A and B are shown apart, each in its own frame.
Chain A
Amino acid sequence: MGIPTIYPTGTTLFDPGKCWSGYTLFIARETGCALVDMNGNVVHLWKGLHGFPTKLLPGGQVMGSLGVRSPKYGFMDYMDVVQVDWDGNVVWKFDQYEYIEDPGQEGMWMARQHHDYQREGSPVGYYAPGLTPLVEGGNTLILGHKDVRDPRISDKPLLDDVIYEVNWEGDIIWEWVCSEHFDEMDFSEAARNALCRNPTMVVGKGEVGDWMHMNSISTLGPNRWYDQGDERFHPDNIIWDGRQSDIIAVTDKESGRIVWQIGPDYDGNQAVRELGWIIGQHHAHMIPRGLPGEGNILVFDNGGFSGYGSPNPGAPTGHNNALRDYSRIVEFNPITLKVIWQYSYEEAGFLPKMNNSDFYSPLISSVQRLANGNTLITEGSSGRIFEVTEAFEIVWEYVSPYYGINKNANFVYRAYRVPYDWVPQLERPDEKEIPKLDRSRFRVPGSVWKPEEGVVEVEGTLPYPGPQLCVSKVDEPKDG
């Protein structure tokens, strides 16, 4: 996406009549955890708090982390998962997953958490009626890292993903190690070959293979599929996704086995071909009961680069062999795989192959279904958070002003909208409409607009036709 040098930040558009209003929570880069109202006012900031992500609990408490392991020795290892009250006091903390001794530093316990966690009571960590996260107790599911070796996957050391559950007292009571289920994942021979040679090496404890790169875990919660007798969708089962493998799967909580899965290939049958390739995805989850679309899978299908498989011109070794230059939000039925709702370049009003990447975040990002049917989208790599109606109208948009200094990018990993009454410490804010500005008239100081001056007529000119693109007129037909 081409981004101009100067562009507005904060709330850029707000239609109070069409929004599911509330506060929006996200990590303000290199600043802390920010809570902003619909007009973009930062109404509360937990300064210095980290979070991958942060999540608000009813009563104005927030979950996040106190810090991150040095990137010289760990890759995205958050030291702990904490619960912090409105005043910044740590009221709950877990860090007892692994004892770490990095060179030059005192040994310490770490959670090695990354990308996600869930507090009991809420399947997905965002508002759904009657499914409220517990505040003064309850278990917490945590997505973490574990160093393993597994010659079935690669001869290289692996940075594996692990899901573990801790109780309020801090005891680990359940654990699931991703690599132990490798044989259940249906990798093709070509994928195994590419994966073995390059399991996505990153700098952690030396160079390690971040082979799966899970970025989302949540429970399914009560759902109609289970009510209809489909045991695969037991409310306690965990849905997760692996960015690097393109897999979205459900793990049976009791047996540990993978009981539902799409990916790593999306050409196995007509249903999955019509769903289309999901590439480098984030935040795949089941829409919780009580929200429009409940029971469907909602995912930010990033596009970008991911996967393992046969080499192609964009991936000469078969690593990151799935490539696409736009993102899409997909809501689909987990049984039929039929797409129920989608938001991509077309719905956003962009042209295929020309500016489809104007909605594109190859990394991070998230999606939340709101109670009125709207969808909150975090287009993470450009720091843009926006609310879109079912009919694809953008009714609220916010661009993070927290650019940070350590990377030349305006990242927001994941944002959540929370109801006003989850924050009893604040008076409900006034909401002021921010109409959509006419871009052709929007100027920064010093820039002028005088279209009537210096105009001459040219004799014999014809009207302008529609655009003619240097590409195929229509998109490729779907494989039947």
Chain B
Amino acid sequence: MTHQIYSVMGCARCHITKRFMKENGMDYEEYDIEADGKDAFAKFYRVHRAEIYRDKDGVEFPVYTDGSVIRQGVSVVIGHLVAGNGLDGFIGRSTLHGEWIDGFNISGGDPSRAGDLLKVMAYLKQNGLKILLTTDGRNPEVLKAVHDENLGDRIVMEVKGPAELYEALAGESIDPNALETSIRLAARFPDYQFYSIVAPMIPKDGTVRYLTPEEIGETAKTIEKAAGSKKHPYELRPFDPDSAVDDRLKSAEPLPANAFFKYRTSARRYMVMTQIAK
């Protein structure tokens, strides 16, 4: 298996990736796309255009391939080198540039692979990156390990609703203790924020309906109870139908902007700093 890296001169994240490979005895072929690797990358890109992600700023580097898979971005590439597909769900695409890196979803992966996740995060931290995490409350034991190792610089936690509504909201239930533990841990990070999406859901009777202001109030109350204070940053966000997993929710009528004030009022009884996201 030959490791190939397409990199850009001056790209710090490319350097971190190459340094990791060298330190771990992985030989690789490097193609600098702004030097003599330009034609090679052009050819590679033409063949794999559909598999290579690019946003408004262009293609994210480094781009890695071993001939069978293509990975992009320092965290995804190192994650692959450490654990193959084992960290899928934990590590995704980073949208941040500069010193900050995101794409780490604590609740999205297999908790038995937490050791590999910590290894990747530790390496990025050692190389000067600040890590932004997300969670929805699942895998509190992984979150605890990340916290105890001081690997997360900021966490944004989605509290989907009161624990008993998680299944209706996300199609998957959550252990109330796990949710409370994650909330408590999140509030201990150097920088953190809680948020809830005022979302439609499908209760057991199958009728699509939005969370009510009272249920958002209960969500805020859950945060207060777990984190031990009414004064945590808490944001209410609108629902994006395009993000819905269940097709029945994609056609849900958006709530008017003014409807959010009642939700905020209800939430502020327990989280006094509640804001409505713009």
Contacts and interface: CB of A to CB of B under 8 A. Distances in A.
Interface of A: 96, 99, 101, 107, 109, 171-175, 180
Nearest to B278: A180
A171 B262 contact: yes
B272 interface: yes
Contact of A99 (B258, B261, B265, B273): B273
B49 interface: no
B244 to A, nearest CB: 27
Interface of B: 231, 258, 261-262, 264-265, 268, 272-273, 278
B231 A96 contact: no
A390 B136 CA distance: 67
A237 to B, nearest CB: 16
A71 to B, nearest CB: 23
A175 B231 contact: no
Contacts of B262: 171, 173
Contacts of B264: 172
A171 B231 CA distance: 20
B169 to A, nearest CB: 25
A324 B241 CA distance: 54
Given A171-B265, A172-B261, A174-B258, 11 more contacts: A96-B268, A99-B272, A107-B272, A171-B261, A171-B262, A172-B264, A172-B265, A173-B261, A173-B262, A174-B261, A175-B261
A160 to B, nearest CB: 12
| Smallest CB-CB A-B distances: 5 pairs | A99-B272, A172-B261, A171-B265, A173-B261, A174-B258
Contacts of A173: 258, 261-262
Contacts of A99: 231, 268, 272-273
Contacts of B278: 180
A172 B265 CA distance: 7
Contacts of A107: 231, 272
Contacts of A174: 258, 261
Contacts of A101: 231
B277 to A, nearest CB: 13
A232 B251 CA distance: 33
Contacts of A96: 265, 268
B215 to A, nearest CB: 17
A103 B265 CA distance: 25
A119 to B, nearest CB: 19
8 contacts: A99-B231, A101-B231, A107-B272, A171-B261, A171-B262, A172-B261, A173-B261, A180-B278
A180 B257 CA distance: 14
Nearest to B265: A171
A415 B265 CA distance: 34
A109 B261 CA distance: 16
Nearest to A101: B231
Contacts of B273: 99
Contacts of B231: 99, 101, 107
B189 to A, nearest CB: 21
A174 B265 CA distance: 12
A46 B220 CA distance: 40
B228 to A, nearest CB: 15
Contacts of A171: 261-262, 265
A96 B265 CA distance: 8
A109 B231 CA distance: 12
B63 to A, nearest CB: 32
